[in-house]
């Protein structure tokens, strides 16, 4: 149900209950004590804006250290700890040491909300770096909005969201999925597409976008095969057989993979067992990077592809320094990957924004984040846009026998788009928290749809 309002100072507002809410605003169940405390705090801030920063500055780390996603997320926990250590070696932040507070939501999606609340209310962290899957992010989102917490989300996702409480430092679909499909169409001549994903919001929404995009490019519906499997799925024989059958008429087949976590191991093993090589049916993955390949026998994966915004093999001086620092911190056998770079950029932008604001206050830091620039590891510059997304280059990498990637395609920086042009309901939407104060601004009706989280 929609309720339109206009305070006379901005765009008209439509409010709707939806899981994609960018902003809940102030909760209606605020107690008198909470209200009075807030009023007193505001009065003190007005009277004495130069109050000293409370020490230490606390950084929450919300990544799964157990369960099916631990294969991917443990490295991100270690990345944040390394970044905290590096910043403390530079003198900390605002004259304070930084303390990392680590929790384990254990690949249990509802637990992300509980752990986010714990970080914000019990541990009183100033910022959170966390989540991998979209379902875990959406679980934490209502808590972030209710408590006005701030989270940096470092993983590629499906778009269709822009919250004032989240900075999305991973790729939107126009920075990964769509360029990967273009590569298949234009460079490899793929005619039939198998869209294989884990059964949750990111693969389903991404594949809805890709299905519409492929059809806009003239690919027939019968040449698009879509399949979803649960987290941890291991029996891939039937699905691989269905993919092979897609090319029975002689058309070139390609796989677009949004399979997440350890299910990837069984999928690639089944491809090899079926005698399918990258020359026969190339796979481009959006959730397989150096970390997932580390320790695996990649002999049979050589030639398959991944689309990211960073690879460890990027030949730049700044990346060489980052890789060296990571190995010195975590161990010589540890590898770097794309979400690590996203945390690297996000953490350093946050440090710079806090420094510019002179406080860790979320509202002040948010305002200071817009327009922040920081060198990425591939030779360009990341810029934080008013829609809370970054500019990012798009890289296609080919798996090597050593588990690294040969970069075979790289673009200049592409601005992240929170709302896709390929879904009718999203095409007229834009996000601008700086000037419009809205994550879902309808450019046709000139109204802001303010969605209340109901995940």
SS3 of the chain: the string is CCEEECCCCCCEEEEEECCCCCCCCCCCCCCHHHHHHHHHHHHHHHHCCCCCCCCCEEEEEECCCCCCCHHHHHHHHHHHHHHHHHHHHCCCECCECEEEEEECCCCCHHHHHHHHHHHHHHCCCCEEEECCCHHHHHHHHHHHHHHCCCEEECCCCCCCCCCCCEEECCCCHHHCHHHHHHHHHHCCCCCEEEEEEECCHHHHHHHHHHHHHHHHCCCCHHHEEEEEECCCCCCCHHHHHHHHHCCCCCCCEEEEEECCCCHHHHHHHHHHHCCCCCCCCCEEECCCCHHHHCCCCCHHHCCCEEEECCCCCCCCHHHHHHHHHHHHHHCCCCCCCHHHHHHHHHHHHHHHHHHHHCCCCHHHHHHHHCCCEEECCCCCEEEECCCCEEEECCEEEEECCCCCEEEEEECCCEECCCCCCCCCCCCCEEEECCCCCEEEEECCCCEEEEEECCC
Any idea where the domains of the chain sit in the sequence?
3-45+55-173+332-452, 177-285
Please say if the pLDDT value at position 18 is more than 50. no
Q: What is the pLDDT of residue 15?
A: 38
Span 269-291, mean pLDDT? 92
Q: Summarize pLDDT for 94-142 with one digit per residue, the tens.
A: 999 999 999 999 999 999 999 999 999 999 999 999 999 999 999 999 9
The better pLDDT of the pair 449, 7 is held by 449
CATH topology of domain 3-45+55-173+332-452: Rossmann fold (3.40.50)
Do 177-285 and 3-45+55-173+332-452 have the same topology in CATH? yes
Q: Summarize pLDDT for 335-375 with one digit per residue, the tens.
A: 999 999 999 999 999 999 999 999 999 999 999 999 999 99
Q: What is the pLDDT of residue 448?
A: 95
- Quote the pTM value: 0.84
- On average, the pLDDT of the chain sits at 88
Instruction: Give the pLDDT band of residue 52 (cuts 50, 70, 90).
Output: low
Percentage, residues of the chain above pLDDT 70: 87
Instruction: Give the pLDDT band of residue 89 (cuts 50, 70, 90).
Output: very high
**What class, spelled out in words, does domain 177-285 have in CATH?**
alpha beta
């Amino acid at each position: 149900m929609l309720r339109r309002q206009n305070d006379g100072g901005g765009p008209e507002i439509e409010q709707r209950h939806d899981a994609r809410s960018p902003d809940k605003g102030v909760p209606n169940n605020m107690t008198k004590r909470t209200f009075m405390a807030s009023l007193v705090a505001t009065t003190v801030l007005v009277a004495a804006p130069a109050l000293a920063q409370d020490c230490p500055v606390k950084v929450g780390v919300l990544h799964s250290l157990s369960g099916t996603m631990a294969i991917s997320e443990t490295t991100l926990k270690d990345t944040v700890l390394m970044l905290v250590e590096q910043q403390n070696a530079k003198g900390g932040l605002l004259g304070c040491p930084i303390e990392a507070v680590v929790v384990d939501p254990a690949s249990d999606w509802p637990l992300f909300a509980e752990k986010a609340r714990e970080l914000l209310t019990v541990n009183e962290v100033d910022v959170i770096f966390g989540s991998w899957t979209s379902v875990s992010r959406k679980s934490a989102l209502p808590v972030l909005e209710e408590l006005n917490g701030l989270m940096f989300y470092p993983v590629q996702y499906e778009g269709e969201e822009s919250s004032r409480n989240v900075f999305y430092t991973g790729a939107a679909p126009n920075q990964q999925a769509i360029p990967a499909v273009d590569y298949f169409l234009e460079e490899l001549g793929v005619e039939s597409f198998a869209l294989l994903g884990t059964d949750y919001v990111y693969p389903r929404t991404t594949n809805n976008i890709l299905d519409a995009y492929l059809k806009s490019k003239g690919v027939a519906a019968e040449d698009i095969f879509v399949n979803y499997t649960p987290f941890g799925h291991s029996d891939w024989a039937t699905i691989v057989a269905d993919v092979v059958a897609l090319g029975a008429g002689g058309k070139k087949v390609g796989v677009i993979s949004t399979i997440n976590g350890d299910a990837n191991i069984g999928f690639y093993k089944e491809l090899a067992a079926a005698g399918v090589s990258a020359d026969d049916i190339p796979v481009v993955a959006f959730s397989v990077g150096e970390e997932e390949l580390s320790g695996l026998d990649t002999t049979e994966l050589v030639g398959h592809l991944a689309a990211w915004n960073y690879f460890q093999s990027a030949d730049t001086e700044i990346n060489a320094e980052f890789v060296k620092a990571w190995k010195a911190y975590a161990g010589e056998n540890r590898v770097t990957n794309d979400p690590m770079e996203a945390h690297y950029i996000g953490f350093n932008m946050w440090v710079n924004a806090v420094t510019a604001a002179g406080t860790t206050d979320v509202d002040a830091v948010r305002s200071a984040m817009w327009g922040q620039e920081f060198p990425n590891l591939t030779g360009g510059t990341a810029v934080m846009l008013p829609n809370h997304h970054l500019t990012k280059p798009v890289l296609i990498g080919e798996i090597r026998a050593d588990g690294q990637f040969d970069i075979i395609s790289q673009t200049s920086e592409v601005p992240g788009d929170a709302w896709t042009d390929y879904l009718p309901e999203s095409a007229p939407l834009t996000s601008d928290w700086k000037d419009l104060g809205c994550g879902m601004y309808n450019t046709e009706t000139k109204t802001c749809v303010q969605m209340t989280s109901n995940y």
